[in-house]
Structure 1
């Protein structure tokens, strides 16, 4: 044995092994208690496994829902990006011909609150 332990082992080891070697006849009450404890433990283990499975199923469902929502939002982003491009193009085309933007009043250097209303006919 290493680290200075006696060859016969520690007091704790001898105590445990001494108890393990002594076979005391079990009473029927002890047997019943052991059977009940094992049954209770088996039921608790089944409950725990079922709860774990339900939790995994719930997480999987949540994952599926989030994936669907993500796909839907990505589609919406695509549509909105297309709409933005279209509206930007329409605005650029309109700016070329807009009489309000080309009004000579807009080029007069004077302070005015709203340049658009100054170009409108009175």
Structure 2
């Protein structure tokens, strides 16, 4: 069971399919009652705006990275103004942010 179907803007392994084509296929899933909601993950403001202007069914949600060092205020405001739910990940920062702030070694970096 998948609660929400979301394409991510990560690496494409199936070619150069335009994102709107993927979205149209996902809209068909909603129309055919295969899924209840569709959303996106890691869509920046301009990409999300392009999708919203072309979509028949707007995204229900945009899952994005948000933390004190990366607040994404304009993207969050845009989403909320269009009734797009915002879910967030990495609330304490990620990658280099954690290493610089706490100088904590990952298990792979540890001497133990």
TM-score tier after normalising by the smaller chain length: under 0.3
Higher relative contact order (CA 8 A, sep 6+): 2
Structure with bigger helix share is 1
Structure ranking higher in strand proportion: 2
Name which one, 1 or 2, has greater alpha-carbon Rg. 1
Q: TM-score if structure 2 supplies the norm length?
A: 0.18
